A and B are shown apart, each in its own frame.
Chain A
Amino acid sequence: MRLDCPLPKFDFDIITLGHGSGGLLTQRLLQSGVFDVLKNDLLDQQHDGAILELSGKVAISTDSYVISPVFFPGGNIGELAINGTVNDLAMCGAQAKYLTLAFILEEGLPITEFWEILVSIKEAALKAGVQIVTGDTKVVEKGKGDKIFVNTSGIGLVHPKANIHHNRIKPGDKIIISGPMAAHGIAIMSLRKGLEFETTIESDTRNLNHITQQLFDLFGANIHFMRDPTRGGVASVLNEVAGMTQLGYVLDQKQIPVDEQVEGACEMLGLDPLYVANEGIFIAVVNPLIAESFLYQLRKEPEFASAAIIGEVVDDHHGKVLMKSRIGGRRVVNYLTGEQLPRIC
């Protein structure tokens, strides 16, 4: 979906400190920019905050986005900021309803770039079915930011059948991944200065709220746990969960989907895809009795066609993640320490 939102006629080409002053320039940017694009009844009131009506269990989440570069193959910081918070809520079993949106802009940001990000935000919000109801814009001096930082906070209604908690994970549960891992991190890496390489790999940024709500409709509390493996990748999420539950987790490397190009890039860069960031997949830990039908339902959607059961929970090697290698050996999958750094040879 591409929105037809032509850039309005501004009498400025770049963001300046004045746009964050709260004065006339701020008003011009907001009135003929932000408010116009993101238009909805609650935002249109332009109040200090939004008054909402909600009933039932509510989930809340917040996240800040500081990605560099802000435009990358498959998306930009705007849609990432929407999908990220929508997905964090989805992992709680919730359907995101309302978001707040805050920008920290660096002086000198071209208005065309800001506009493109804004339009992406609108598109992503429409796709996810979420409303942006309040926000904030600040500008920092050149050199004090990295073009644009975005924060989104969201609240959502928890699905009545959902009951997500790490203490519901039991030995025997199956670990399911919704799609191939490591695409987002590698797409970003392909643009980083000094590492540029030609590729068609795109970020996997997407919302996960619709699919997870469908799965909760069908499988409810048989879904014991859900998490989106963003920073630190699949390995970090599973290590966290292993630590919290003090159960053992066993992965089967053969079953873990990785796109061939992504795998090739990881080989070349000396990175382990298990630790590379994702923005559009989730890991679910489910009752083994429903694992196959869960997978069947998930795979019906083209976006999740390569979902797979990648392992199981065991009452052994407590607090640790092990992986059966492709050739049948076993290894520990540990936490990542610091950043993954490219190697010498």
Chain B
Amino acid sequence: MKYLSEYRDPELVHQFAEELHRITTKPWTIMEICGGQTHSLVKNGILEMLPKEITMVHGPGCPVCVTPIGIIDEAILLSEKPDVILCSFGDMLRVPGTKKSLLEAKAEGADVRILYSPLEAVTLAQQNPDKEVVFFAVGFETTAPANALSVVQAAKMNIHNYSILASHVLVPPAMEAILGDPENKIDAFLAAGHVCSIMGMDEYYPVAEKYQTPIVVTGFEPVDLLQGILMAVHQLEKGIYEVENQYVRAVQREGNQIAQETIHEVFDIADRSWRGIGQIPKSGYELNDVYKQFNARIKFSLGETAIDGTNECISGEIMKGLKKPFQCPHFGKKCNPEHPLGAPMVSSEGACAAYYHYQGIESKELTETV
């Protein structure tokens, strides 16, 4: 398939892997930010191809995983109102709230719809004037432009029965939170290619400089990932820390300015609570005052979002790269995709799901024996 098969070329993958083995002289810990990258690393067996000196740790870039349980409970609460149609991306449905998941609420009769685009939710609102349509707007900078656009469209079309429950998070503040953690072990980052295709690269220069950490904007296919890791190791071995772009076919330094303008038209930067990590200042988006009538929190008077209670899920340690999924005592036992203790086990971008699906519950053993 054009633009995919080239980046899955076994020959090229092996060339990069060999080069990586040749240049690596010291142990390095590299974090890939995005859960999509984590899945690609595990699914394609790339981790096994790396020199033993290189440890990949899996970052917080799984929007589903970092959504606080309190917001999931709010979404469930809204979905159970008789006049509400709650729309969501598919990933969110299996994530456990305090008592149940959206999928269970749906089975009990709540009107929960899986959509691919928030613009479909606006159409749904138009078609159902006697219902309140709420879009569960979860995601990083990648999904923010489409979610923002849905609000702009609804305002233009004078649609009053549409609102969004926003839980938007931002990558650079999370990277800073990880780097500023006293337990931090990260030597370099692979930044999320698709986030940068929207936001560009400018935000990353100060981070690389302040923490003296190389950042390589990287894609998602095997060739992308190996090349990204190679570029990071090159920098580490030379003792430099720059922002580089591996994903040149999709990312320009300034990003997508139309998308950025749309985001800034409807969203303000706000503090956000990250599941398992805690509050990170200025790490998310919330609807601004001009568009507040589209804010489901205000429309339905939801009040303060509950702070996460104690939970046996160690998602915070997983997403900060302090632990691997198989180091969790519950992995594959008490916590599995049918009975998850936390989101990383059920999200298609969750690190625990990646290990469970592609390496199995004895993943450590498998990694060692293969």
- Is chain B found bound to chain A in the same assembly? yes
Tell me the complex Cα distance, A199–B131, Å: 33
| B349 and A267 contacting across the interface, CB-CB below 8 Å | no
Q: Mark A5-26, 1 if CB is under 8 A from B, else 0.
A: 0000000000000000000000
CB distance from A238 to the nearest CB of B (A): 14
- B48 partner, pick from A267, A320, A329, A334, beta carbons under 8 A: A329
A343 and B91 form a contact (CB under 8 A): yes
Chain A residues numbered 257-289 whose CB sits less than 8 Å from any CB in chain B = 260, 263-264, 267, 270
The verdict on A342 contacting B14 (CB below 8 Å), with A327-B45, A327-B46, A331-B358 known, is no
A334 to B138, CA, bound (A): 28
Asked if A1 is at the interface (CB within 8 A of a chain B CB), the reply is: no
**Docked-complex contact A332 and B349, CB < 8 angstroms:** no
| Chain B residues near A267 (CB-CB < 8 A) | 1, 4
Q: Could you say which of A194, A195, A344 has the most chain B C-beta atoms within 10 Å of its C-beta? A: A344
A331–B43 Cα gap in the complex (Å)? 6
Residue of A nearest to B123 (CB): A194
The yes or no answer to A56 lying at the interface (CB within 8 A) is: no
- Decide yes or no whether B113 CB sits under 8 A from chain A: yes
Write the A304-345 contact mask toward B (1 if CB under 8 angstroms, else 0): 000000000000010010001111111110100110011111
Nearest-CB residue, chain B, relative to A270: B348
Contact B44 A327 (CB under 8 A): yes
- Residue ID in chain A nearest B88 by CB atoms: A344
Residue of B nearest to A235 (CB): B357
Tell me which of A263, A329, A338, A345 contacts B103 (CB under 8 A). Answer: A338
Residues of chain B contacted by A327 (CB below 8 angstroms): 8-10, 13-14, 44-46, 49, 222
Q: Which B residues are in CB contact (< 8 Å) with A342?
A: 89-91, 114, 116
A341 touches B14 (CB 8 A): no
**Cβ contact within 8 Å between A344 and B94:** no
Interface size in chain A (residues, C-beta < 8 A) = 26
Report the minimal beta-carbon distance from B366 to chain A, rounded to whole angstroms: 7
The prevalent SS among residues of A at the interface is loop
Using CB atoms, name the residue of chain B closest to A321. B360
**With A194-B116, A345-B63 in contact, do A330 and B48 touch (Cβ < 8 Å)?**
yes
Contact between A332 and B13 (Cβ–Cβ < 8 Å)? Answer: no
Judge if B338 is at the interface, Cβ distance under 8 Å. yes
- The answer for the CA separation of A260 and B47 in the assembled complex, in Å, is 27
Which residues of B have CB within 8 Å of A334? 356-358, 360
Q: A329-B48, A331-B359 are in contact. Are A344 and B139 (CB under 8 A)?
A: yes
The answer to whether B358 touches A345 (Cβ under 8 A) is no
Which residues of B are found within 8 Å of A317, using beta-carbon distances? 366
Chain B residues positioned under 8 Å from A264 (CB to CB): 1
**A341 with B91, Cβ < 8 A, contacts A194-B115, A332-B359 known:** yes
Q: Please give me the 9 A-B residue pairs with the lowest Cβ-Cβ distance, nearest first.
A: A329-B45, A341-B90, A337-B337, A332-B360, A342-B90, A331-B358, A343-B348, A327-B13, A344-B89
What are 24 A-to-B residue pairs whose CB atoms are below 8 Å? A194-B113, A194-B115, A317-B366, A320-B360, A326-B10, A329-B45, A329-B49, A330-B48, A332-B363, A334-B356, A334-B357, A337-B337, A338-B337, A341-B90, A341-B91, A341-B93, A342-B89, A342-B91, A343-B90, A344-B63, A344-B91, A344-B348, A345-B139, A345-B143
Q: Which residues of B contact A (CB under 8 A)?
A: 1, 4, 8-10, 13-14, 36, 42-49, 63-64, 89-94, 103, 113-116, 120, 138-140, 142-143, 194, 222, 336-338, 346, 348-349, 356-360, 363, 366, 370
A327-B45, A331-B358 provided; 11 other pairs, C-beta below 8 A?
Answer: A194-B114, A194-B120, A325-B44, A327-B8, A327-B13, A328-B45, A334-B357, A334-B360, A338-B338, A343-B90, A343-B91
Interface residues of A (CB under 8 A from B): 194-195, 260, 263-264, 267, 270, 317, 320, 324-332, 334, 337-338, 341-345
